Structure 1
C-alpha cells in the first residue's frame, strides 16, 4: 500500500515539475524569443562597407586606387508580357546614352539574374565612370524602373609597372564568398600579388547601422552604429620610379630583375618581364585578350620572381664552395683544371676547353672553373652539398609577401628516391655542383642568397613592413665568406673576371655570372656552339647576381635574362645602369 502511495506522489511531483517548467518557458523564455523576433521586425540593420585601402610606394605614390562611378540597376520581374515594354525602354535608355554597351548583353545579364524569387533590383551595368555618368544622373534616377547606386572600380595608375607584385582584384566567386564574408557585400576580392596577400588588411572591417523602423518601414531612429574601418591602406618598399626605369632599360626581353636591401630584405624593385596591365582584370578581360596573353611563349602571366624555376648555373658556386669548406675541404685547396674530368664513360667538361690550370677558391669564382667544383663535390658528396644549400634557403620558400611562392628543387639522394624511385649517380653530383641537372631555383631565392654572401646574414625578402623578420645569422666563418667575396669582386674587376668586359658602373660591386643550359650538349660535340648560333628557345638562361658597394654592401641586384646566353654579356649593361641609378637617386652614398 505504501509503495503504491509513493508511486502516486512521485507521479504527481513529475506532473507539477512539468507544468511549472512549461509555465516558466511560456512566461520567461518565450518572451525573450518573441521579443527577439519583434526586434527583427522593427530593427533594420544596414551594412556599411569600407572602401578598399590604397597601395602606395615608399614615397607615397599611388599604385592601386579606387575610382568612383555608378552602377545601373533595373526593377525585377519586367520580362513578363505586361511589363516587357518598361524593360525595353530601360535598356534602350542605357544604350542611347552609352553606345559602347551592347543591348544584347544587358538583356542577357538581366534574364540571368532575374527570377521569381528575386525581389531586389537587378544590376545590369557594373560601373560607369563618375565623369561620364554624373551629367545624366538626374535623367536615370527619375525612372521608376531604374535604380542608380555608387560604385567603385580598382585602378592601377602605373599600368604595366610592377603588375605581378601589386596583383589585381576581381569578382568574388562563390568559394571566395564562403571564405570571406565581406566579399559578398563589395563583390570583389584580391586575386593575385599584394592585393591577395594583404586582402584582409586592404578590404578592412565592415560597419553597420541599426535603424528602428515603423510598420511602413520608415526610419524612426538610429539605435546603434559602427563605422567601417578606415586604416586599410599599405605603404610598401617599392620605388615605382626605379621600377619604371628598370623596365625601360630591360626592354622587350623576358626575365626577372630584383633590387633588394642586402641588410633587411626590403625590396626596392621587382620586375617579372614581360609585364601586363592589371586594369584589364579590374575592367573585365575579353576572351580574345585572354587567349593572346595565355598563348604568349614568354608567359606574361607568370610571376617569374617567385614562380619561375630555373637552373642556377654558376651563380650557385659560392654556396657549393661554402659547403666544401664546411665539410672539411681545406681553405688552401687547389686543383689542376685540364678542361675535363672523366667519370665512367662520360667526360664532364669545363666551359674553358683547354682548362684553367691551377685553381683555388678565389680563382674558381673569378673565372667560374667547373672542374674545381666537379672534383670538390666528389670529395664530399651530394647530401652534404644539399644540406648546406638548404641553410641558404634553396628548396624552401623565402617567405616574401606574394602568393603561391614555389619551393624550387634542392636535390639529394633521398629526394631522387622519393620522386623517381631511382638511385643517385655520381655524375649527377658533379653537374649539380655547377647548378645544372635537377637543381631549380627562383630569382627571389637567388637574391636572398646573394644578400647572405654579402652580409653573412639571411634576410627575409618583403614589400610591406608587417612581413619583416630579423635576418638570420647562419654563423658562417667571416674568413671563408671573405674569400668568396674577393672572388666575386674579381668577377667584375679582374682582367680575367667573367663580367669585367660587360659591367661598367661607377660603383665598386661584386658579382657572379651564370649560364644555365636549357638543352644538354652531346658528348660528340667537341667545340661548344656559340649561344647566338642556337635557336632562341634553346639558348641558355643568363644570370648575373651582384651586391654593392663592395666594402659596405647596401643592395643586391639580381638579373635573369631568359635565353640570354652568357650572364655578363646579357645582363652586364642592365646591372651597370641600375647601380648608377641607385647612386643618382641617393640610395647609394659611397661608390666603394
Structure 2
C-alpha cells in the first residue's frame, strides 16, 4: 500500500514540476521573445539610404556624380488572374503619360518581383530624369496604386576621361547583396576602378527611423532616428586638366600614359587608350555596344596601366645595369660592341648592326647598346639579375588602389622549371637582359621603378590618400644610381642619345627609350625591315620612361604606344609636351638648363 502511495505522489510531483516549469517559461523566459514580437507589431523601422559619394579630382572637378530623378512603383499582389485587368489598367496609366516605356516590359518587370511575401510597392521604372518627369509628377502621384519615389543615377561628366581609373557602378547581383547588405537597398555597387576599390566609403552608412504606429499602421511617435552618412565623397590625386591634355595628344593611338609624383607615388594622370564612356555601364550597355568593344583589337576594356603586359625592351636596362654593379661588375667595366654576339648556333645582334665600339655603363644607357648587356649578363647569370629586378618591383604588384593588378613575369631558372618543367638556357639570359623573351611588365611597374632611379626610394602608387605608404628603401648603393642617372640624361641630350632628337621640353629631363619587339626577327634576315614597313600589329611597342627636372626629380612620365615603332621617335615628343604642361599648370615652377652634364 505504501509503495502505491509513493508512486502516486511521485506522479503528482512530476506533473506539478512540469506545470510549474511551463508556467515559468511562459511568464518569464519567453517574455523577451514575445516582447520583441510585440515591438515588431507596433514599431516600424524606416531605412534611410545614403546618397553615394562624389568622386572629385585634386582641384574639385567632378568625376563621378549622382543625377537626381524619380522611380515609379506599383502596389503589390496584383499578379493573380483576378487582378489582371486592374494591373493592366495601372500600367496603361503609366504608359499613357510615359509613352517611351512599353506596357509588356513593365508588366513583366512587375511580375518578376511580385510575391505573396512581399508587401512593399514594386519598382517598375528605376530612373527617370527630374526635368523629364516633373511635369507628370502630380498626375501619377495622385493614383492610389502608384507610388513615386526620388531616385538617382550615377553619371560620369568627364565621359571617357580617366574612365579606367574611375571605374563604374552596376546593378548589384545576388552575390553582391549577400556580401554587401546596403546594395540591396540602393540596387547598385561599384564594379570596377575606384568605384569598386572604395565602394564602402562611397556608399556610406545606412540611417533609419524607428516609428511607433497604431493598429491602423498610422504614425504616433518617432522613437529613435539616425541619419544616413553624408561624408561619403573622395578627392583623388588626378588632375583632370592634365588628363584631358594627354587625351588630346594621344588621340588615335593605343597604349598607356602615366604621370606620377616620384617623391610619394601620387598619380597626377593615368590614361589607358583607347578609353570608353563609363556612362554606358551606368545606364546599361547594349549587346551591340558590348560586342563592338569586346571585339576591338585595341582592347578598350583593358586597363593597360595595370593589366597591360608588355616586353619592357630597353627601358629595363637601368635595372639590369644596377644588377651588374651590385653583384661585382666594376663601374669602369667596358666592352667592345661589334654589332653582334655569337652564342652556339645563334647570333645575338645589337640594334646597331655596325656596332657601338668601346662602351661603358653610361654610353650603354645613352645609346642603348644591346651587346653591353648581352656580355654583362653572361658574367652575371639570370638569377642575380632577376633578384635585383625583384627588389625594384618587377614580378609583383605595385599596390596601387585599383582591382586585379597583374604581376607580370620576372623570369629566372626556378620560374621556368615551375612553369614549363624545362631547364633555363644561356640564350634566354641574353635576351632577358634587354627586356625581351619571357619578361613581361606593366606600365605602372616601369613608372614606379623609374621613380626609384630618380629618388633612391620605391614609392607606392596611389590615387587616394588612404592608400599612401612611405616610400621604401632599397639596398642598392646610391653611387650606382648616379651612374644610371647620368646615362639617362645622355639619352635626352648627348649627340647620340636615343631620344636626343625627340626631347624638346623646357624642363631638363632624364629618359630611357625602349623598342619592344612583338615578333621575332629571323636569323636569315640580314637587314632588318623598317618599323614603318611592317604591318601595324607586327610593329614593336614604343616605350619612353622619364623623370624631371633632372637636378631636382619631382615627376615621372612613362609612355607606351602600342605598335608605335621606335621609342624615342614615337613617344619622346609626347613626354616632352607633358613636362611642358606640368610647367604650365604650376607643378614644376622653374625651367632648368639642359646642357651636357
Report the counterpart of residue 382 of structure 2 in structure 1.
382
| Distance of aligned partners of 1:4 and 1:395 in 2 relative to their CA distance in 1, 3 Å threshold | farther
**What is the distance in 1 between the residues matched to 2:156 and 2:416?**
44
**What is the distance in 2 between the residues matched to 1:249 and 1:94?**
48
**Deviation digits for residues 125-145 of structure 1 (CA, Å, limit 9, x no counterpart):** 110001111111000111123
Report the counterpart of residue 521 of structure 1 in structure 2.
521
1:413 matches 2:420: no
**What is the distance in 2 between the residues matched to 1:285 and 1:123?**
21
Contact kept? 1:456, 1:475, Cα under 8 Å: no
Contact kept? 1:255, 1:561, Cα under 8 Å: yes
**Deviation digits for residues 331-354 of structure 1 (CA, Å, limit 9, x no counterpart):** 111111111111111111110001
Report the counterpart of residue 133 of structure 1 in structure 2.
133
Pairs within 5 Å for 1:291-330: 291-330=291-330
In structure 2, the residue corresponding to 1:321 is in which secondary structure? helix
Report the counterpart of residue 62 of structure 2 in structure 1.
62
Report the counterpart of residue 215 of structure 2 in structure 1.
215
Contact kept? 1:499, 1:568, Cα under 8 Å: yes
Report the counterpart of residue 571 of structure 1 in structure 2.
571
| Distance of aligned partners of 1:573 and 1:98 in 2 relative to their CA distance in 1, 3 Å threshold | farther
| Distance of aligned partners of 1:381 and 1:284 in 2 relative to their CA distance in 1, 3 Å threshold | same
**What is the distance in 1 between the residues matched to 2:336 and 2:5?**
112
> 1:558 deviation in Å?
0.4
| Distance of aligned partners of 1:10 and 1:89 in 2 relative to their CA distance in 1, 3 Å threshold | closer
In structure 2, the residue corresponding to 1:348 is in which secondary structure? strand
Root mean square deviation of aligned Cα = 2.1
**What is the distance in 1 between the residues matched to 2:254 and 2:451?**
24
| Distance of aligned partners of 1:15 and 1:425 in 2 relative to their CA distance in 1, 3 Å threshold | farther
Report the counterpart of residue 225 of structure 1 in structure 2.
225
In structure 1, the residue corresponding to 2:265 is in which secondary structure? coil
**Deviation digits for residues 357-411 of structure 1 (CA, Å, limit 9, x no counterpart):** 1110000000000111111111111111111100111010000000111111111
In structure 2, the residue corresponding to 1:257 is in which secondary structure? strand
1:342 matches 2:342: yes
Report the counterpart of residue 190 of structure 1 in structure 2.
190
In structure 1, the residue corresponding to 2:487 is in which secondary structure? helix
Contact kept? 1:266, 1:463, Cα under 8 Å: yes
In structure 2, the residue corresponding to 1:76 is in which secondary structure? coil
| Distance of aligned partners of 1:314 and 1:23 in 2 relative to their CA distance in 1, 3 Å threshold | same
Report the counterpart of residue 595 of structure 2 in structure 1.
none
**Deviation digits for residues 515-560 of structure 1 (CA, Å, limit 9, x no counterpart):** 1110111110111111111110111111000000000001000001
**What is the distance in 2 between the residues matched to 1:112 and 1:46?**
24
Report the counterpart of residue 259 of structure 2 in structure 1.
259
> 1:36 deviation in Å?
1.4
Report the counterpart of residue 440 of structure 1 in structure 2.
440
| Distance of aligned partners of 1:10 and 1:312 in 2 relative to their CA distance in 1, 3 Å threshold | farther
Q: TM-score, normalised by structure 1?
A: 0.96
Report the counterpart of residue 39 of structure 1 in structure 2.
39
* Mean Cα deviation higher: 465-474 or 117-126: 117-126
